[in-house]
């Protein structure tokens, strides 16, 4: 993964970094979670921007004395906040992040980084020009299961050379009535958990991406939805699949679906790493290896995943980076890579052909 040293003015200590969030909605209480993690990392909670006055009252109760704003324009004009975290629907990530960058603010976007390759490239260029940091909240980069998979399985060659990764997520049923079901807002079915699964995959297969093919099934749940379902005409795909080819000849498959009904796939592994000596599979609860012994027999082992504090590790790295003491782990160039893959996959599904990648 490419590292990036700070090219901008650094802070003396983490507490000098005044942090804020855009979006303090009730879903998952993400605003409080981000502010709490940044506080634990030593930074100073300072401002919240939220269009719902009731949620601003909650923010004030959670962090007494914090500045509150009903619009981003007012926050950028009136606040001395240094770093702004964007907890907004996906289609707003680029627009609002670019506005903050132009105002000279450092930016963290909730994943996905942005929705398209073009947005990623423009935001990276604008941040370089403005001399500010942009990154995305890939807290799952430090999930216990992927840390163990990379350090103890892939790097040590336990299953040989990994030549294919299979990543899966989904279930069966009409998608939930929320904005993540809207294709125009979310970007599509691949963007939510797909970004995490691809970020895992890119830690495992480190070669550049050279080509992406995409496939999609649409229309089934839209035909079954009630007439008052709010996302009719704008629903995500029922099922989407990306096939990624790497420069070293490796391959990755990503599937996100609302049509998984096969009992044999319950629970389906989140990730399966296929190597020349065996396989390593990860479900939510445990890992399993199946490795050929000297007699050619497959020997199976299972174990529990190690714990993780990915969010805290992420924000400690951001704070250390802004203080000039560490390279940024989740660089904008790194954040661009899964976005580029999904963007190409969705284009490929529409065009019916594989597309060449321009990996950073």
Rounded CA Rg of the chain: 21
What pLDDT, on the 0 to 100 scale, is given for residue 3?
41
Q: What is the pLDDT of residue 134?
A: 98
pLDDT tens digits for range 275-311: 999 999 999 889 999 998 888 888 999 999 998 878 8
Q: What confidence score (pLDDT) does residue 263 get? A: 65
Residue 56 pLDDT > 50: yes
Query: What distance in Å separates the CA atoms of residue 153 and residue 155, rounded to the nearest whole number?
Result: 6
Q: Is residue 266's pLDDT more than 80?
A: no
* Per-residue b or e along 120-153, where b marks 16 or more CB atoms closer than 10 Å to that residue's CB: bbebbebbeebebbbbbbbbbbbbebbbbbbeeb
Tokens representing 58 are 């909650």
Write down the H helix ranges in 65-176.
72-78, 93-102, 117-130, 144-148
Predicted confidence (pLDDT) per residue in 2-49, tens digit: 344 567 878 999 999 999 999 998 778 999 999 999 999 999 999 999
Pairing assessment for the beta strands 83-86 and 18-22 based on DSSP bridges: parallel
Using CA atoms, how far apart are residues 216 and 137, in angstroms rounded to an integer? 27
Q: Which two tokens stand for residue 60?
A: 């004030």
Q: Would you place residue 264 in the very low, low, confident or very high pLDDT band (cuts 50, 70, 90)?
A: low
Query: Does the pLDDT of residue 146 top 70, yes or no?
Result: yes
Report the pLDDT averaged over residues 112-129. Answer: 98
Nearest residue to 317 (alpha-carbon basis) of 330, 305, 307, 306: 330
Query: Which range, of 30-44, 198-212, 216-230, 263-277, averages the lowest pLDDT?
Result: 263-277
pLDDT band for position 148 (50/70/90)? very high
For 318-353, the pLDDT digits (tens) are: 999 999 999 999 999 999 999 999 999 999 999 999
Confidence of residue 159 (pLDDT cuts 50, 70, 90): very high
Q: Is 293 exposed, middle or buried (0-12, 13-18, 19+ CB in 10 A)?
A: exposed
Q: Please, what is the average pLDDT of the chain?
A: 94
Neighbouring C-beta atoms of residue 276, cutoff 10 Å: 11
Nearest to 7 by CA among 331, 359, 338: 331
Provide mean pLDDT across the span 222-230: 95
Please give the C-alpha separations between residue 268 and each of 30, 33, 285, 304, 307, in angstroms, as whole numbers.
Answer: 27, 29, 11, 16, 21
- pLDDT at residue 315, as a whole number: 98
- Where in the chain does DSSP place strands (E)? 18-22, 44-49, 67-69, 83-86, 106-109, 134-136, 162-170, 209-217, 239-246, 251-257, 271-275, 278-282, 286-292, 298-304, 355-356
State the pLDDT at residue 326.
96
């Amino acid at each position: 993964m490419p590292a990036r040293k700070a090219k901008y003015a650094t802070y003396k200590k983490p507490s000098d970094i005044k942090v804020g969030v855009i979006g303090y909605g009730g879903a998952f209480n993400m605003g409080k979670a981000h502010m709490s993690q940044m506080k634990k990392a030593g930074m100073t909670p300072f401002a919240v921007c939220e269009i719902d006055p009731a949620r601003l009252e909650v923010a004030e109760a959670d962090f007494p004395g914090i500045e509150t704003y009903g619009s981003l324009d007012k926050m950028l004009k009136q606040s001395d906040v240094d770093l702004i975290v964007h907890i907004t629907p996906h289609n707003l990530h680029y627009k609002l992040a670019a506005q903050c960058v132009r105002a000279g603010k450092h930016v963290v976007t909730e994943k996905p980084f942005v929705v398209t390759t073009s947005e990623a490239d423009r935001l990276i260029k604008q941040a370089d020009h403005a001399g500010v940091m942009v990154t995305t909240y890939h807290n799952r980069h430090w999930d216990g299961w992927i840390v163990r998979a990379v350090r103890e399985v892939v790097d040590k060659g336990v299953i040989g050379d990994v030549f294919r990764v299979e990543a899966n997520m989904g279930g069966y049923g009409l998608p939930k009535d929320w904005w993540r079901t809207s294709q125009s807002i979310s970007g599509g079915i691949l963007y939510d958990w797909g970004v995490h699964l691809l970020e895992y995959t890119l830690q495992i297969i480190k070669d550049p991406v050279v080509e992406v093919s995409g496939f999609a099934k649409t229309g089934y749940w839209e035909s079954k939805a009630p007439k008052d379902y709010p996302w009719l005409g704008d629903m995500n795909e029922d099922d989407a699949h990306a096939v990624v080819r790497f420069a070293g000849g490796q391959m990755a498959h990503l599937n996100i679906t609302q049509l998984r009904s096969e009992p044999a796939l319950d629970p389906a592994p989140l990730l399966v790493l296929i190597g020349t000596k065996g396989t390593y599979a990860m479900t939510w609860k445990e890992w399993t290896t199946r490795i050929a012994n000297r007699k050619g027999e497959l020997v199976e082992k299972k174990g529990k995943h190690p714990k993780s504090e990915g969010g805290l590790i992420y924000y400690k790295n951001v704070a250390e980076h802004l203080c000039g003491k560490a390279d940024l782990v989740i660089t904008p160039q790194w954040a661009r890579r899964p976005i580029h893959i999904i963007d190409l996959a969705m284009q490929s599904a529409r065009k019916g052909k594989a597309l060449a990648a321009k990996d950073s």
